[in-house]
Structure 1
Amino acid sequence: MTMVEHVGFRMFVRNLQPLFDIATFDGVEADCREIYLKERQKVYEELDKLPGKIGLSADTWTANGDAEYLCLTAHYIDDSWQVKKKILNFLLVDPSQTDGDMLSEVIMTSLRNWDIDRKLFSVTFDNHSMYEKIVWKIREQLCQHRFLLCNGQLFDIPCAANLIKMMVQDTLEKSCEILHKVRESIRYVQCSQSTQEKFNEMVQLVGINSQKCLCLDNTHQWNSTCVMLDAALEYKDVFLIFQEHDPHTGTSLSGVDWDRVSALTTFIKQFHEASSIFRGNKCNTANIYFPEICNIHLQLIEWCKNSDDFIHSLALKMKSRFDEYWKKCSLALAIAAILDPRFKLKLVEYYYPQIYGDKSQKCIDTVSDCMKALYTGHAIYSPLASHGSCDGSLVGTDSRDRLKGFDRFLHETSESQSDLDKYLEEPLFPRTVDFNILNWWKVHAPRYPILSMMACILSMMACNILGIPMSKVGPELMYSTGNRAVDSYRSPLRSDTLQALMCAQDWMHNDFEDAKAWPGSTIFALS
């Protein structure tokens, strides 16, 4: 934006067209703010009319090295059963006041300004001790006003992509010595044409016919480390022979080292496969995460049994980090899977005995009880319930009615079969490659007609659960080990101007790409 004030630019434009009226920096800023306010009103009205709940995610951005910004994004499923996400605020944060109390109040103020504090269903933050305090403060305020269902058990949802990135970082940090040896071995082979030719001769001698090429990784992209290790393993036997014939190879890898490289590669490939599935999810709904997270859980349990001290200690460290995540969001993951007509409760009944052993039935019962409580909560407290139901159990209820407890009692003790029971008893839907769960719910919602309004209780529950942003990282940042940063062109701007640019760009791009863009993708990429 400051370009319009540059002497060279103004001379260039004047030479092209002397009569052209060049905009000023202040004028461009004013235009940006005007567009921002106009688009903000559209987003406000959309959120106000939203029948379901909203999931909130938060990201920290850096600018000019020291400045920090908090980016708040709303995630939801609209009344057309489309996943949407809108940036709400891009706020400058004082680095000296980044404590839980201050940031929680900043977030709550943002929610109140958008008038969506009563609609908040979940928050998805990074796994960081600072965010734990923020989540606790926000949940406490919302529970006081009874805005949260199930006493907030489904409120705190750590980012799945962030969990994977942290476990990968744990793996790489623990394996730094072995990684150094692999890099130095590859670097030596590629140091000259003669050593490369000698290595290639040994490849032919050993009889390796691989299309993979030795390459060094980018330390800021952990998927490239996976590629490097995977290729190096293909030439393991060649490296061992090469070390014997060339005393100048420097750092060498022993047979035990190669076994650990193999285990290390298996670890990272497991995470890479999981992240690829997350990124490839067309509608980025919560239901797909349960089987993938369970598979990681089972793999960690297996790795912890390894007799090798290196692998065992590494697996224990990852398992400890994973357990913190699982404790917070296993319920939400399981319920999202149950709301997938291809799985329902059967998927939970399949995985839990493998994870919990003899305690599995108790854990399954906990999930089932939470599912029923969530359904009842939607039936009693949903704004739609105030319009009545076809069976008469909720007729005449009002959000200010003091007999809500009695209504809940009638609903819970009713002998009529609920939509939840009907849904769970129906046969599983066939698994197909092109299955879209939101389309399924859009088509099948009328089959559960407890409410005669625009959505029924069960479908509203599905809308809220499936709309939880289990992961908030865009595809281009999935493998990055760094933090998000505002580019050098926008960093010097005033904080309110930067917020106007970031938000308006997101909203307008979303409107333009709504029909074709993948909803889980990041709207813009700033490096």
Structure 2
Amino acid sequence: MLVRALKFRKAFEYLSVYDLNYKSLPSEEEWNRGEKLCEFLKPFYVITNLFSGSKYPTSNVYFTQVWRIQLLLMKFSSCDDAALADMAERMQVKFDKYWEDYSLVLAMGAVLDPRMKLYLLEKAYEAVDPLTAKVKVKELKDNLILLYNDYVARARPSSRVTTIPTPQELITESPLEDDDFDIDIFDLERSIGTGVSNTKTHLDIYLEEPRLDRASFPSYDVLGYWKDNQHRFGELAKMARDLLSIPITTVASESAFSIGSRVLTPYRNRLLPDNVQALLCTRNWLRGFAESEEDENNNQPNENAISGLRAGESSMP
């Protein structure tokens, strides 16, 4: 609504000239505040639609969007407009609490985006809080390695590169004699020199490979990448499939970053927590987060039933 009104700014000015009864023309300061407010809220609108839409994105998208929200809050917390600065500061309080408990699993999903990997996540952490960036990156990498090792342990041991024979195999297959001693030593040194790569896991190889350029791949099928490279990365590709398939709508962004309170219908507010969770999850899976007239119509019979029960209880001796 505000965005549409800004498009007709000149029209409102002409209206005040031709219609003397029009007395509510916004001032220049109010127009400027409206523009800043739209600039501030538009990213939240876009990100909320991305998270809560019917076409759910993969989990690698989540980290970058939350990071953009943080940069936006930092920018407007120090703006000249006192009202916007106050709004951003109150939202920052909720964001800081949310950021402290940020899911490492979703951060792992971002690492498994070949356009990001650990490098971009480290830069993002530094932009948010340089003091804790190294600690968070180390914690993320350690947990990523633990999870990968768990996948490898549950599968056949095929996560190491074993195409080159080990030095021990070379020695046992070719007994050292005076005539071919120099040749065997040469083969041994060559095997030892390349044997370092044998200890690298698929996770190490993936992280060391160059990142894809985000400018060249602004929208990229990350799941397709892991499907095409499954023959190269083995269990890491399976881990990526599981992590990237996590629905990022598990925590609704409306409640995570809104300065208001959560909204529940009076009927849902009386249900047990397990029943509320089942109802909300089922509804979101079927319809997304769009409002439905059916919900409003269904609430009235429930309210009448509850009122009848209360009336019956009050009439009992």
TM-score range, shorter chain: 0.5 to 0.7
Match of 1:216? Answer: none
Aligned 8 A contact 1:348 1:364 in 2: no
Q: Distance in 1 between matches of 2:290 and 2:31?
A: 41
2:228 is aligned, of 435, 443, 453, to 443
Q: Distance in 2 between matches of 1:337 and 1:281?
A: 21
User: Could you say if the C-alpha distance between residues 387 and 294 of structure 1 is closer, same or farther in structure 2, counting changes exceeding 3 Å?
Assistant: closer
1:335 is aligned with what amino acid? M
How far is the alpha carbon of 1:435 from its aligned partner?
2.6
User: Could you say if the C-alpha distance between residues 278 and 333 of structure 1 is closer, same or farther in structure 2, counting changes exceeding 3 Å?
Assistant: same
1:420 is aligned with what amino acid? L
Write out per-residue CA displacement over residues 300-320 of structure 1, whole angstroms, 9 at most, x where no aligned residue.
111111122112111111222
Listed as ranges, the matches of 1:34-433 within 5 Å are 228-240=1-13, 242-243=15-16, 246-278=19-51, 284-329=57-102, 331-356=104-129, 358-359=130-131, 362-380=132-150, 382=151, 385-390=153-158, 416-429=199-212, 431-432=216-217
Q: Distance in 1 between matches of 2:84 and 2:290?
A: 39
Aligned 8 A contact 1:335 1:367 in 2: no
Which blocks of at least 5 consecutive residues in structure 1 are unaligned? 1-227, 393-414, 450-455, 475-480, 487-495, 510-519
How far is the alpha carbon of 1:367 from its aligned partner?
2.2
Match of 1:469? Answer: 247
Aligned 8 A contact 2:60 2:112 in 1: yes
User: Could you say if the C-alpha distance between residues 330 and 303 of structure 1 is closer, same or farther in structure 2, counting changes exceeding 3 Å?
Assistant: farther
Which blocks of at least 5 consecutive residues in structure 2 are unaligned? 161-197, 253-261, 268-274, 296-317
Q: Distance in 2 between matches of 1:350 and 1:443?
A: 28
Aligned 8 A contact 2:59 2:248 in 1: yes
Aligned 8 A contact 1:240 1:254 in 2: no
Match of 1:48? Answer: none
How far is the alpha carbon of 1:374 from its aligned partner?
3.2
SS of 2:102's equivalent in the other structure is: helix
Aligned 8 A contact 1:331 1:367 in 2: no
Match of 2:308? Answer: none
Write out per-residue CA displacement over residues 33-71 of structure 1, whole angstroms, 9 at most, x where no aligned residue.
xxxxxxxxxxxxxxxxxxxxxxxxxxxxxxxxxxxxxxx
How far is the alpha carbon of 1:469 from its aligned partner?
2.3
Q: Distance in 2 between matches of 1:386 and 1:231?
A: 56
The structure in which a higher percent of residues are strand is 1
Q: Distance in 1 between matches of 2:144 and 2:60?
A: 16
User: Could you say if the C-alpha distance between residues 270 and 373 of structure 1 is closer, same or farther in structure 2, counting changes exceeding 3 Å?
Assistant: closer
Q: Distance in 2 between matches of 1:462 and 1:433?
A: 20
2:124 is aligned with what amino acid? Y
User: Could you say if the C-alpha distance between residues 466 and 281 of structure 1 is closer, same or farther in structure 2, counting changes exceeding 3 Å?
Assistant: farther
SS of 1:342's equivalent in the other structure is: coil
1:467 is aligned with what amino acid? S
Match of 2:177? Answer: none
Q: Distance in 1 between matches of 2:103 and 2:159?
A: 34
Aligned 8 A contact 1:304 1:312 in 2: yes
Q: Distance in 1 between matches of 2:251 and 2:159?
A: 43
User: Could you say if the C-alpha distance between residues 523 and 251 of structure 1 is closer, same or farther in structure 2, counting changes exceeding 3 Å?
Assistant: closer
How far is the alpha carbon of 1:250 from its aligned partner?
4.9
How far is the alpha carbon of 1:275 from its aligned partner?
3.0
How far is the alpha carbon of 1:282 from its aligned partner?
5.4
Aligned 8 A contact 2:54 2:288 in 1: no
User: Could you say if the C-alpha distance between residues 242 and 434 of structure 1 is closer, same or farther in structure 2, counting changes exceeding 3 Å?
Assistant: closer
Write out per-residue CA displacement over residues 129-150 of structure 1, whole angstroms, 9 at most, x where no aligned residue.
xxxxxxxxxxxxxxxxxxxxxx
Aligned 8 A contact 1:334 1:367 in 2: no
* Displaced runs of 4 or more, over 4 A: 244-247, 279-283, 481-486, 520-526
How far is the alpha carbon of 1:485 from its aligned partner?
10
2:209 is aligned with what amino acid? E
Q: Distance in 1 between matches of 2:58 and 2:28?
A: 44
User: Could you say if the C-alpha distance between residues 233 and 344 of structure 1 is closer, same or farther in structure 2, counting changes exceeding 3 Å?
Assistant: same
SS of 2:57's equivalent in the other structure is: coil
Could you tell me the TM-score, scaled by structure 1's length? 0.38
Match of 1:157? Answer: none
Match of 2:237? Answer: 459
How far is the alpha carbon of 1:463 from its aligned partner?
3.1
Q: Distance in 2 between matches of 1:427 and 1:278?
A: 29
User: Could you say if the C-alpha distance between residues 391 and 330 of structure 1 is closer, same or farther in structure 2, counting changes exceeding 3 Å?
Assistant: closer
How far is the alpha carbon of 1:287 from its aligned partner?
0.3
Shifted more, 274-283 versus 309-318: the winner is: 274-283
Q: Distance in 2 between matches of 1:391 and 1:468?
A: 24
User: Could you say if the C-alpha distance between residues 442 and 230 of structure 1 is closer, same or farther in structure 2, counting changes exceeding 3 Å?
Assistant: same
How far is the alpha carbon of 1:423 from its aligned partner?
0.8
Aligned 8 A contact 2:159 2:202 in 1: no
Q: Distance in 2 between matches of 1:245 and 1:265?
A: 28
1:369 is aligned with what amino acid? E
Aligned 8 A contact 2:115 2:212 in 1: yes
User: Could you say if the C-alpha distance between residues 310 and 337 of structure 1 is closer, same or farther in structure 2, counting changes exceeding 3 Å?
Assistant: same
How far is the alpha carbon of 1:341 from its aligned partner?
1.1
Q: Distance in 1 between matches of 2:207 and 2:9?
A: 51
